[in-house]
Every structure is written in C-alpha cells, then in structure tokens.
C-alpha cells in the first residue's frame, strides 16, 4: 500500500479517536465502539490491511499499549486513597475475576466442548476486567463520589493485573506441559512479588534522579525509557512487568510522600503535571490505534456470527451476575453502598482482554481466532451496558435536579410573602 495512504489512514484514525473522545464526554458512549467498527470496515470489509500481515507486529504493540496505559493510570492514583480503598477494591477484584473465570471456564468445558486448558486460557482473557479508559472518565462525568471513583480506578488497575498474570500462567502450562496447578499458584506469587519490589525500587531511584535533573530537557522521553527498562527488567527476572510499571507510576505520581528525604524544598509538581499530560496524549494515541487494529483482525464469518454473539451474550450474563455478587460483598457497610448500582454497571471491558486475545493469536494457541472474535463481541456488549447505565444515571440526576428546582420555586414565593 502507498505510504501516503497509510499516513492518511493513521491521520483519519486519530481524528476519529478525538471525535469519539469528544462524543464520549457528551453522551457517555465509549470511544472503543467507534474505533473497533472503524477497524472492521477498513480490514475484513474493505480489506485495506490484510489480517495476516498485522498479527506478528500487533502482539508487541499490544503489550506496549497495555503497560503505557497502566503507567498513566498509576500516575493519577492518590496513595492515601489507594490505602483507604485498596482493601475493598481487592475484595471486589478477587470475587469478580475469580468466580467469573471459574464459571466461564466451565462454560468452555461443558457448553462449548473445549478442553480444560483452552477453556481456562479463554476465561482468563475475558473474566472480570474493567477498563480504566472508560470507567475512570465516565465515573467522573457521572459526578460519583470521590471514594467511588477511587474504588473503580483501583479495581480497573488490579483486575487487569490479575487477568494478565493468570493468562500467562495458563499459557505457561500449555507451552511447558509439565507445570502443575500448585506451580501456578507459586508462579503467580513470585510474579507479583518481583513486580512490586522492582517497580518500587526503580521508581524510588527515578524519583531521586528526576529531583536532581528536573530542569534538564527531554526528561519525559528519559522517563519513558526508564519505564521500558522497568518492564523489561522485571520480565527478565521472572516478575510481572505490567505490575512493576503500575507500581512505578503510583510511586512517581505520589513523590511528595518522599519530600522529607530530600534536602531541599524544591517541588516537582510542574514536571509531574507535564509528564502526566504527555503520557495521557501518548496513551490516547496508542489506544486509538490499537482498537482499530483489533477491528482489523476481526474475522467475518456469516455462519458463526449468531453462535459467537450468543456466546458473547451468555458470557455477559455470567459477568453481570458475578459482578452483582462482588459489589454486594465489597460495598457492604460502607459509603460505597449508596452508589452500588452505578458500580455494578461499570463493567466496560477494553484494553486488557483485547491485548490478551491478540497475544493468543500471535502465540498460535488453539481456538485463538475464536477467542478473538468472541472477546470483540463481549467488549462491545459490556460497553453498551455501561453506556446504558450512564444514560440512566444522567436521567436520574436530571429528574432530581428538576425536583430540587421545583421545590425551590415553590418555597420562594412563600418566603417572600
């Protein structure tokens, strides 16, 4: 394909992404839906980009997008809120991810007649993720409480990590063949420990380096380089690179907690604000391209559309039922209970299942093409549910506002008299 055509298409994707983001803020309809359908039109329908030529490169791009977005999410988390709401978010994640993976795995075995390992690889891809790219901005636009927003942000970060670790654990069993279920548990614990430790250590090193050289040029580019180093080093040493990057972002974004160690009183707030702004732009660019690429790799098979969509609806039902239970438990006797319905409907999936399904295709796992198609359906369906929840919430807020105004108008004349 002509280079100028490729550049024009990328420009078009960026414009669509920007327009979709603007539309999302106005209506609450997630941007992912626009981007995925754009990819489907450009790929399987018009065949501008052959699917086979995209798969080898897409896995690397998928991993880059995933940890860059999580690094950006970590920068925006307040450490005190993490400590305050972390326990309940962890309970929510364990129940939602754990039970949904088990139930979806059983569906794969007994309904779809897949083997045990393929069923649980698929379940780890699609079980219990919520995407921060939709949940965080939408919860803010819905004017939910600060505690609820923090809770949803933490949940979206932690459940992504759980899904990633479990996916690679199951894939490890497939590639090794000798690994047992006990080794999975040990491997998960080891990955978490190494990822957290390396992310914390390297972020502390980088905070002190930035504190000293913050007036130098290109500190943002250098920071991205150090984030890549953190991811690579953690992965090489057997840890979870994505978790290390998330911890790195949280500590860097809360550097002020280390001020007492610094000898001076210089603040890095301007630098961190600039860094967060640039990282947001990069994350938006990567997300826009990635979800179009997801649509490009979609397979249109008329004979399987109904069956795959039916499977997607069944999985959506499992996710909603499991999420209902998880929210009831995690918000019990807390202020979060007041916004329980809004939390339950914040089930939009996005980057993590899309990335893992693409990785499954690139690793040539059994049934990976089927995984990719069903995951795409589930992403769209969960985003539709979240959109409907947002619309219902806005309608409720509008009715409450009108009720307050009517009450004020009724009281005002009486007070005047």
| CA 104 – CA 54 distance, rounded (Å) | 29
DSSP string, 145-214: -HHHHHHHHHHHHHHHHHHHHHHHHHHHHHHHS---HHHHHHHHHHHHHHHHHHHHHHHHHHHHHHHHHT
Would the pLDDT of 62 be above 90?
no
**Residues contacting residue 181 through CB under 8 Å, at least 6 positions apart:** none
Percent of residues, the chain, with pLDDT higher than 70: 88
pLDDT at 266 over 60: no
Indicate the pLDDT class of residue 402, thresholds 50, 70 and 90.
Answer: low
Distance, CA of 226 to CA of 241 (rounded, Å):
13
* pLDDT band, residue 329 (cuts 50/70/90): very high
pLDDT band at 32 (very low <50, low <70, confident <90, very high): confident
Phi, psi angle pair for 254, to nearest 5°: -115, 35
Residue 44 CB coordination number (10 Å): 17
Give the number of C-alpha atoms closer than 13 A to the C-alpha of residue 164, restricted to the C-beta side. 27
Would the pLDDT of 386 be above 60? Answer: yes
3-class secondary-structure state, position 366: coil
Residue 318: partners with Cβ closer than 8 Å, 6 or more residues away: 100, 103, 104, 107
Report the CATH number that the domain containing residue 178 is assigned in CATH.
1.20.1530.20
Find the helix or strand (DSSP H, E) in which 279 lies.
helix 269-296
Q: Mean of the pLDDT values across residues 13-33? A: 76
* pLDDT, mean of residues 67-86: 76
Structural domain containing residue 238: 3-416
Q: What residues have CB less than 8 Å from 258, skipping those under 6 apart?
A: 204, 207
% of residues, the chain, pLDDT over 90: 22
Residue 44 is classified by DSSP as I
Q: Which residue bears the tokens 């990328």? A: 10
pLDDT in tens, 284-324: 888 788 788 878 878 887 878 889 899 999 999 999 999 99
Q: Return the structure tokens found at 333.
A: 């006797």
Q: What's the confidence (pLDDT) of residue 182?
A: 64
C-alpha angle 201-204-208 in degrees, rounded to nearest 5: 145
Q: How many domains does the chain have?
A: 1
């Amino acid at each position: 394909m002509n280079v100028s055509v490729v550049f024009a298409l990328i420009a078009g994707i960026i414009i669509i992404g920007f327009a979709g983001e603007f539309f999302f803020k106005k209506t609450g309809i997630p941007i992912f839906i626009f981007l995925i359908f754009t990819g489907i039109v450009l790929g399987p329908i018009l065949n501008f980009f052959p699917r086979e030529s995209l798969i080898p490169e897409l896995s690397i791009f998928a991993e880059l997008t995933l940890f860059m977005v999580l690094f950006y999410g970590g920068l925006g988390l307040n450490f005190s809120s993490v400590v305050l709401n972390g326990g309940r978010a962890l309970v929510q994640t364990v129940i939602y991810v754990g039970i949904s993976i088990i139930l979806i795995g059983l569906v794969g075995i007994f309904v779809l007649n897949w083997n045990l390992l393929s069923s649980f690889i698929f379940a780890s891809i699609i079980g219990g993720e919520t995407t921060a790219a939709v949940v965080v901005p939408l919860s803010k636009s819905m004017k939910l409480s600060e505690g609820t927003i923090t809770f949803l942000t933490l949940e979206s970060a932690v459940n992504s990590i759980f899904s990633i670790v479990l996916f690679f654990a199951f894939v490890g069993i497939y590639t090794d063949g000798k690994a047992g279920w006990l080794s999975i548990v040990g491997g998960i614990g080891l990955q978490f420990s190494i990822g957290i430790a390396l992310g914390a250590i390297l972020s502390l090193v980088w905070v002190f380096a930035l504190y000293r050289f913050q007036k130098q040029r290109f500190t943002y580019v250098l920071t991205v380089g150090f984030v890549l180093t953190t991811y690579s080093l953690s992965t090489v040493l057997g840890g979870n690179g994505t978790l290390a990057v998330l911890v790195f972002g949280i500590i860097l974004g809360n550097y002020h907690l280390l001020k007492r160690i610094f000898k001076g009183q210089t603040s890095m707030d301007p630098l961190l604000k600039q860094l967060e702004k640039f990282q947001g732009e990069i994350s938006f660019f990567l997300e826009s391209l990635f979800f179009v690429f997801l649509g490009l790799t979609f397979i249109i098979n008329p004979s399987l559309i109904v069956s795959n969509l039916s499977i997607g609806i069944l999985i959506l039902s499992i996710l909603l039922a499991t999420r209902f239970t998880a929210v009831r438990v995690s918000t019990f006797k807390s202020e979060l209970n007041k916004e329980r319905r809004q939390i339950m409907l914040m089930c939009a999936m996005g980057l993590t299942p899309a990335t893992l399904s693409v990785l499954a295709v690139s690793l040539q796992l059994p049934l990976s093409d089927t995984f990719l198609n069903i995951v795409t359906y589930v992403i769209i369906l969960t985003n539709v549910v979240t959109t409907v929840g947002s619309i219902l919430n806005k309608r409720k807020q509008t009715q409450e506002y009108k009720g307050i105004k009517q009450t004020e108008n009724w009281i005002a004349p009486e007070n005047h008299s």
